[in-house]
Chains A and B, each alone.
Chain A
Amino acid sequence: MERVLQLVVNGVMAGAVLAVPAIGFTTIFAVLRFANFAVAAHMAVGAFAGYVVNAWLGFPAWTATLAAFAGAASVGVATDHLTLRRLRGYSALTIAIASIALNLMVENALRFAFGNAPRNFSIPLMRDWSVGSIHVGPQQVENAVIAVVAMAALFAFFSLTTTGKAMRAVADNPTLADSKGIDPDHMARVALAIGMGLGGVGGMLIGLDTSLDPLLGFRSILSVFAAAVVGGLGSIPGAVVGGLAIGLAEELSLLALPATYKAVVGFVAILIMLTLRPRGLVGPRTS
């Protein structure tokens, strides 16, 4: 029982971090209607932006997280403007494939700029806190708090601001939103900035807990994609639910499967959802 509880704690912590880039992924899908796999490289861009601010300029992790958002959002909008925007008229599959190419380009640009060696944020490495037989890392808790704050800020943005409401309108019914005079190009840029920015924050959080290198996002993208699909592609609350579900499922799989099959969980989750419930756990019916 203790083991199950510990796995649940680990799963929730991992899921909270996973949910952040999953929200980014699903936000872009909701507005632009294609799976943008370049989120992986932008997770690394955000992590490196945060690293520069934290390790080189000496700012704390909280400030670095803002830099991660800003860095990944700026690069995300710029790279989309230079590449994927020109393909908007093509099918979702074509643009998704092009996004994989963009992902490779951005990753290699990072390699060129920072090299391949893993790097460490300038934060102290702390021992776990123990509550009875259950323990949790201070960094995990901090990451979970940052993830919750980022998600809360995003929900406030979508609920309280005009731009946020306009984005929801585009996601809900693009044709109707267009007839109401909502500029789709502007909404696309905002969605990309938010999506890639959240990807960058997710990358930064993973980097804080582990280390960062240009392939940081690439290693995580399957779980991010699985979280978005399980929650329902295009549904922001769904991405949160999906992130937690994948985080929990990956950790709890250790009860039944050897650790080497952990990655299978993401694939199986995608397969089951697409077969039995394509709209995901809480996704919109139209998706």
Chain B
Amino acid sequence: MTNQPRGSVTRRHALAGAAAVAAMPLFAPSIGRAQASGPIRLAGLVSLTGGGSAFGPNDRMAHQAVIDEVNAAGGIRGQKVEYLAEDDETNPEAGVRAARKLIDVDKVSAIMSVWASAVATAVLPLCWENQVMMLAIAAADSIAMLPHQGYFVRTQPHTELQGREFANFAIRRGAKHFYVMMPQTPFTDSVMRGIKDLCGAKGIKVSTVVYDAKKTSFRSEVDDMMRAAPDVLMIGGYQPDDIVLAKDVYRANYKGTSVGFAYGLTPQFIEGAGKEAAEGLYSIEPIPAAGSSAYARLKTMLKRDQLDTYVCQAYDHANLAILSLAKAGKSGGTAIRDNVRKITNPEGLKVDNALDGLKAIAAGKEINYQGASGPCRFDEHGNIIEVEFRLNQIRDGKIVEVKS
């Protein structure tokens, strides 16, 4: 027995170490196989802070609920699903940082429920370059026109379509002058184009103002609006700037009709702007399929009486990703891309959740996923095909559905 000092390296140790290093390539394939057979990773890139913070936490909850349910039933063909959520702060820079981590470090197959168009625009190139599927909410027309190679679908109707719905609102109210105030976003132009096309054809004058959403006051912009004396005003921002704008509009004693996006005119908006400034404002939103079995199922899962359209879309994103992977029989963003349109086959068995869909796919059946937000059928650009809108009004501090 030698009296060897602790920590010293003998020739035998050195040889053993060198041999281990030399042998590493032999084990590498099995390491690779172990990663491939690990859990399937799906990510939510949701807005937990910033302008979309009213919706991100619910979206995350819906993803988690679907994935927990699938894992409890054995996963996708026996493979567990791991869920990761990152906050994009409703900010493209933060969104890209978070997406980089999800793609490069976590190796996710899909990024789900990106809400803000600016974030989706910034993150989508990372997705298609890395063959990661994006299932988004973001509605700017320009996103679907990017060369995304099919790695993009969205469940929110594109923004020109939404703009036309605002134009229809103004037409129904017999407007003569429609004044549109919106922040600078990737969808501002397309919304305004939708409004101008339809209103112009009806002889309605349309004035537009694009403002800087980061400013703390819009008094001068509102003064210009008051001088123009429109009969319908669109407060078309996100929640924080809508609050400031609505207060300034109230102070200026505007007597016409105001309308905005439902994602801006939320219960938190009413809290922030105050009941007086919020009273009477209309909002337009794409509606979820409130009569569908998927909607009823999601209400039970989340223990809610009512669901906004985004949480329904988030539920659908998780189901679509899981069922596409099951249909493909393999993992990866490309598998989702190639199968996301095959699981909404009109001839297939109607399913409203991943569990029933997984069983049907395992039995070799075609399926037709009918989501909580709608039928989830996409055109070649990734746009949702079928959509309906709902008109709300704020009455006595509550958001209620109205007919016109």
Q: Which residues of A contact B (CB under 8 A)?
A: 3, 6-7, 10, 14, 111, 116-120, 124-128, 135, 137, 139-140, 206, 209-211, 213, 215-216, 219-220, 250-251, 254, 258-263
A-B contact pairs, 30 of them (CB 8 A): A3-B227, A7-B223, A10-B220, A10-B223, A116-B48, A116-B49, A116-B53, A117-B54, A118-B272, A120-B271, A120-B274, A124-B276, A125-B251, A127-B253, A135-B252, A206-B216, A210-B217, A211-B243, A211-B272, A213-B240, A216-B216, A220-B216, A254-B221, A258-B209, A259-B212, A260-B183, A261-B212, A262-B211, A262-B212, A263-B214
From the candidates A119, A125, A126, A254, name the one contacting B220 in the complex (CB within 8 A). Answer: A254
Most chain B CB atoms below 10 A, which of A116, A139, A209, A219: A116
- A14 close to B244 (CB less than 8 A): no
Q: Which residues of B contact A120 (CB under 8 A)?
A: 271-274
Q: What is the CA–CA distance of A140 and B247 in the complex, to the nearest angstrom?
A: 12
With contact pairs A118-B268, A120-B274, A128-B252 given, residues A7 and B53 touching in the complex (Cβ less than 8 Å): no
Q: Which residues of A contact B271 (CB under 8 A)?
A: 117-120
Interface size class of B (residues with CB under 8 A): 35 or more
Q: Which residue of A lies closest to B270 (CB)?
A: A120
Q: What is the CA–CA distance of A137 and B244 in the complex, to the nearest angstrom?
A: 14
Q: Which residues of B contact A14 (CB under 8 A)?
A: 217, 219
Q: Is residue B65 within 8 Å, beta carbon to beta carbon, of the partner chain?
A: no
Q: What is the CA–CA distance of A165 and B217 in the complex, to the nearest angstrom?
A: 36
Q: Is residue B250 within 8 Å, beta carbon to beta carbon, of the partner chain?
A: yes
Q: Which residues of A contact B215 (CB under 8 A)?
A: 219, 250, 262-263
Q: Is residue B104 within 8 Å, beta carbon to beta carbon, of the partner chain?
A: no
CB distance from B216 to the nearest CB of A (A): 5
CB distance from B217 to the nearest CB of A (A): 6
- A211 close to B244 (CB less than 8 A): yes
CB distance from A40 to the nearest CB of B (A): 12
B221-257 interface (Cβ within 8 A of A): 221, 223-224, 227, 239-240, 243-244, 247, 250-253
Q: Which residues of B contact A (CB under 8 A)?
A: 48-50, 53-54, 183-184, 209-212, 214-221, 223-224, 227, 239-240, 243-244, 247, 250-253, 268-269, 271-274, 276-277
CB distance from B399 to the nearest CB of A (A): 15
From the candidates B50, B209, B212, B274, name the one contacting A263 in the complex (CB within 8 A). Answer: B212
With contact pairs A117-B268, A210-B243, A263-B215 given, residues A126 and B251 touching in the complex (Cβ less than 8 Å): yes
With contact pairs A118-B240, A128-B251 given, residues A210 and B212 touching in the complex (Cβ less than 8 Å): no
Total number of A-B contacts with CB less than 8 angstroms? 105
Q: Which residues of B contact A128 (CB under 8 A)?
A: 251-253
From the candidates B221, B239, B240, B276, name the one contacting A259 in the complex (CB within 8 A). Answer: B221
CB distance from B365 to the nearest CB of A (A): 44
Q: Which residues of A contact B220 (CB under 8 A)?
A: 6-7, 10, 251, 254, 259
Q: Which residue of A lies closest to B181 (CB)?
A: A259
- A117 close to B53 (CB less than 8 A): yes
CB distance from A121 to the nearest CB of B (A): 9
CB distance from B334 to the nearest CB of A (A): 36
Q: What is the CA–CA distance of A172 and B53 in the complex, to the nearest angstrom?
A: 46
- B211 close to A118 (CB less than 8 A): no
From the candidates B221, B239, B240, B277, name the one contacting A125 in the complex (CB within 8 A). Answer: B277
CB distance from B99 to the nearest CB of A (A): 20
Q: Which residue of A lies closest to B226 (CB)?
A: A135
- B221 close to A111 (CB less than 8 A): no
Q: What is the CA–CA distance of A14 and B221 in the complex, to the nearest angstrom?
A: 14
- B210 close to A258 (CB less than 8 A): yes
Q: What is the CA–CA distance of A14 and B219 in the complex, to the nearest angstrom?
A: 10
- A118 close to B243 (CB less than 8 A): yes
CB distance from B17 to the nearest CB of A (A): 41
- B250 close to A127 (CB less than 8 A): yes
Q: What is the CA–CA distance of A194 and B53 in the complex, to the nearest angstrom?
A: 33
Q: Which residues of B contact A259 (CB under 8 A)?
A: 209-212, 218, 220-221
Q: Which residues of A contact B217 (CB under 8 A)?
A: 10, 14, 209-210
- A137 close to B251 (CB less than 8 A): yes
Q: Which residues of B contact A118 (CB under 8 A)?
A: 239-240, 243, 268-269, 271-272
Q: Which residue of B lies closest to A128 (CB)?
A: B251
Q: Which residues of B contact A254 (CB under 8 A)?
A: 220-221, 224
Q: Which residues of A contact B239 (CB under 8 A)?
A: 118
Beyond the given A116-B49, A254-B224, please list 8 additional residue pairs across the A-B interface where CB-CB is below 8 A.
Answer: A3-B223, A10-B223, A116-B53, A117-B53, A125-B251, A210-B217, A219-B216, A259-B212
Q: What is the CA–CA distance of A230 and B377 in the complex, to the nearest angstrom?
A: 56
Q: Which residues of B contact A260 (CB under 8 A)?
A: 183-184, 210-212
The 9 closest A-B CB pairs, nearest first, are A118-B272, A211-B272, A116-B53, A259-B211, A260-B210, A117-B268, A210-B244, A262-B212, A211-B243
Q: What is the CA–CA distance of A224 and B251 in the complex, to the nearest angstrom?
A: 25
Q: What is the CA–CA distance of A100 and B145 in the complex, to the nearest angstrom?
A: 37
Q: Which residue of B lies closest to A123 (CB)?
A: B274
Q: What is the CA–CA distance of A260 and B192 in the complex, to the nearest angstrom?
A: 15
- B251 close to A127 (CB less than 8 A): yes
